[in-house]
Chain A
Amino acid sequence: MPVTEDYLFSQGHMWCRLMEDGDYLIGVSDHAQKSLGEIVYVELPDPESEIAQGEPLGVIESVKVVNDLIAPISGTVIEANDSLVDQPAVVNDSAYDAGWMLRIRLKSPEQLNNLLNHAQYLALVG
């Protein structure tokens, strides 16, 4: 699925995207899934917990490494993508679509100013 203009990116290689109901979906970038290799486990926070921009929200485990997932925005977890529990490799196949990780109720809209658009993110990762 091509990345559209509404995808914003963090330096921590996560994206967020505004949904119709005002909440944001977040996930990891295609660059991230490529450098991580086959994803074997994603540890995500429970619904109703809080995440904070720049702080670890969970863990992503691949066949190569175990890395923290750094939150691109602050907010409340509304929903976690349960399909990743049994099929974490969906993140590799479809990082921007079926591999979404969390649905977040955004806390501070001004945080979006810290994020990059797709072109800027691509420039960052070379």
Chain B
Amino acid sequence: MQKHLIVIGAGPAGYVAALQAGAAGLRVSLIGGHDLGGTCLQRGCIPTKTLIASCEVLDKCRDASKFGLELQGTIAPDWPALRRRMESVVGTMTGGIDGLLEQRGITRIPGRARLLDTRRVALEDGSPLHGDAILICTGSVPAVPAAFPVDGQRVVTSDEALRWTSLPASLVIIGGGVIACEFAFIFQTLGVAVSVIEAEDRPLAGEDTAISTVIQREMRKRRIRFLPKALVEQMEVDDAGVRCYQNGQLLASAERALIAIGRRANTAGLDLDAAGLKPGRRGEIPVDRHLQTCVPGIYAAGDVNGRLMLAHAASAQAQLAVRHLLGERTDPIQDENVARVTFTRPEVASVGLSEQQALERGLEIRCGSFDFRALGKAHAGGELAGLVKVVAQADTGRLLGVHMVGAHCAEMIHEAAVIVNAQGSVEDICRTVHAHPTLSEGIYEAAESIFGVAPHKPDVRPSTQDTVHASYRRLSV
């Protein structure tokens, strides 16, 4: 008899799991069609990248004379038109997922669900549904401390910011992570005066410090005010605007505020207790390396398990869970080797360990870096800002991490991601001839600078022949 999989949640974890299970011949019930594509498609990745594309055009047009072009008249953002473009793209993608689910014969059940026991859920109308396995993919929601009066207009999270009907003249962003920084660059480009208040000492504190340094500088260039080591303890909101205080001192004031301090697992209304599941410290559903919870047959994939909070990780986890459920052999996902991308401008992308993380683990490492402005492609393209940093194990040359900031880095990181996940080495990058002229040559130069001589790196001191040969690490693997 056909096994029945119940999937709760239709985001990047849920719908991918449903498609995979359906293709494998399982009977699948996907609950939650009201939010097809989840936060990623409806409120996150896709809408913001659509906005960013418009911002790129805007910036390029403003710089037209730099490219030898004469722009007659002016160019300005049209927020309602920008929103319509977002909605159009989201609509197309939603229709696409709809079509795929249709093709694979996935049963779609609208509304929410809660657990009744280890094998049954109750649908929104109260009727029970029995499954042979349950996969929970209910995602996450913006974390909002009680002290911040989110009203959806003057004080918002990322959910509401994209639904504004007009742009503010000024904005305080609370948080300095991925979402906060992306929005900082977006709104600044669209003409908003932006301040960013961050508790850590740098933006994108999860990245290697070399990346934060460049992004902080790029923020300064755009007059985005960045306040590090600052914590908003009180917020005053009235018709005059929003004022943020720490210890009675005014940190920043603006017309509106965007709270972007992180996201927390969404398990509200699931009734985890009924199936014997207990949430972890941050409200997440703990899982093992197969994405299975403490209850055999119940899995949790995506943001709801608190592991990575990345859409592609959600999809990868969902696929792994389905394969495990089918009894297939699965290789666990190495969380630190999942590529991370941030669409600030310039873009940020990284995979593996940062220098700081590697040192914390007691590893003996060597690092090499290369500034993109030493490359012809960077100059030809008029995109100078950025660098590549490579972290390698000192004795074996094993590639531990690659960190990039610059144009198109979100695409370029995958060369490094493949090698890191294959447990390859710096040598794998060095012996690969990189096409010229491309920005990817920067990865080669950074890698070569560790144990060899990077051809285009300025200020390289000449070494003796012995030193150069001794420092090359050739691996036979």
Residues of B within 8 A of A64 (CB): 373-374, 458
A40–B66 Cα gap in the complex (Å)?
Answer: 13
- Compute how far the CA of A66 lies from the CA of B371 in the bound complex, rounded to whole angstroms: 8
Residue numbers in A under 8 Å from B371 (CB-CB): 65-66
Summarize B's interface: helix, strand, loop or mixed: helix
Judging by beta carbons under 8 Å apart, are B384 and A63 in contact?
yes
- Hey, which chain B residues are within 8 Å of A63, CB to CB? 373, 379, 384
Interface contact B373-A65, CB-CB below 8 Å: yes
Q: Is B361 engaged at the interface, CB distance under 8 Å to the other chain?
A: no
From 55 to 70 in chain A, residues with beta carbon under 8 angstroms from any chain B beta carbon are: 59, 61, 63-66
A61 neighbours in B (Cβ, 8 Å)? 217
Q: Is B329 an interface residue (CB 8 A)?
A: no
Q: B281 near A: Cβ within 8 Å?
A: no
Whether B373 lies near A43 (C-beta < 8 A) is no
Which residues of A, 26-77, contact B by the 8 Å Cβ criterion?
Answer: 40-41, 43, 59, 61, 63-66
B386 (CB) vs chain A CBs: closest residue: A66
Q: Is the CB of B374 within 8 A of A43?
A: no
Residue ID in chain A nearest B214 by CB atoms: A66
Q: When chains A and B are docked, how far (Å) is the Cα of A30 from the Cα of B232?
A: 45
B458 proximity list for chain A (CB < 8 A): 64-65
A66 (CB) vs chain B CBs: closest residue? B371
- With A63-B373, A65-B373, A65-B458 as known contacts, state yes or no: A43 contacts B220, CB within 8 Å: yes
Which A residue's beta carbon lies closest to that of B378? A63
The chain A residue sitting closest to B213, CB to CB, is A59
Interface mask (A92-120 → B, CB under 8 Å = 1, otherwise 0): 00000000000000000000000000000
- The tally of residues in B whose CB lies under 8 Å from a CB in A reads 10
Q: In this assembly, does B461 line the interface, its C-beta being within 8 Å of a C-beta of chain A?
A: no
Taking a contact as CB atoms under 8 Å apart, the answer to whether B379 and A43 are in contact is no
| A96–B238 alpha-carbon span in the complex (Å) | 49
Provide the residues of chain B in CB contact with A66, threshold 8 Å: 371, 373
A40 in contact with B384 given A65-B371, A65-B373 (CB within 8 Å) = yes
Chain B residues with CB below 8 A from A59, complex form: 217
Q: Does B221 contact A (CB under 8 A)?
A: yes
Set B217, B384, B459: member contacting A43, Cβ < 8 A = B217
The minimal Cβ–Cβ distance linking A116 to chain B, given in whole angstroms, is: 22
A32 CB to nearest B CB, Å: 14
CA separation between A39 and B414, bound complex, in Å? Answer: 33
Listed residue (A40, A59, A63, A66) with the most chain B CB atoms within 10 angstroms of its CB = A66
Taking the closest CB of chain B, its distance from the CB of A36, in whole angstroms, is: 11
Residues of chain B within 8 A of A41, CB atoms compared: 217, 221
Q: How far is the CB of A83 from chain B (nearest CB, A)?
A: 15
Chain B residues with CB under 8 A of A40: 384
**B415 vs chain A, min Cβ distance (A):** 24
CB-defined contacts of A65 to chain B, threshold 8 Å: 371, 373, 458-459
Report B459 CB to chain A, min CB distance, Å.
8
A97 to chain B, nearest CB (A): 25
Closest to B221 in A: A41
Contact residues of B between 425 and 456, Cβ < 8 Å to A? none
A19 to B217, CA, bound (A): 30
CB-contacts of B130-176 with A (<8 A): none
Contacts of B459 in A (CB 8 A): 65
* Closest A residue by C-beta to B458: A65
Residue of B nearest to A65 (CB): B458
Q: A2-41: contact bitstring with B at CB < 8 Å (1 yes, 0 no)?
A: 0000000000000000000000000000000000000011
Give Cα A116 to B300, complex, Å.
Answer: 67
Known A43-B220, A64-B373, A65-B458; further 16 A-B contacts with Cβ < 8 A: A40-B384, A41-B217, A41-B221, A43-B217, A59-B217, A61-B217, A63-B373, A63-B379, A63-B384, A64-B374, A64-B458, A65-B371, A65-B373, A65-B459, A66-B371, A66-B373
Residues of B within 8 A of A (CB): 217, 220-221, 371, 373-374, 379, 384, 458-459
A-B pairs with lowest CB-CB distance, top 6: A65-B458, A43-B217, A41-B221, A43-B220, A66-B371, A63-B373
CB<8 Å pairs between A and B, sample of 19: A40-B384, A41-B217, A41-B221, A43-B217, A43-B220, A59-B217, A61-B217, A63-B373, A63-B379, A63-B384, A64-B373, A64-B374, A64-B458, A65-B371, A65-B373, A65-B458, A65-B459, A66-B371, A66-B373
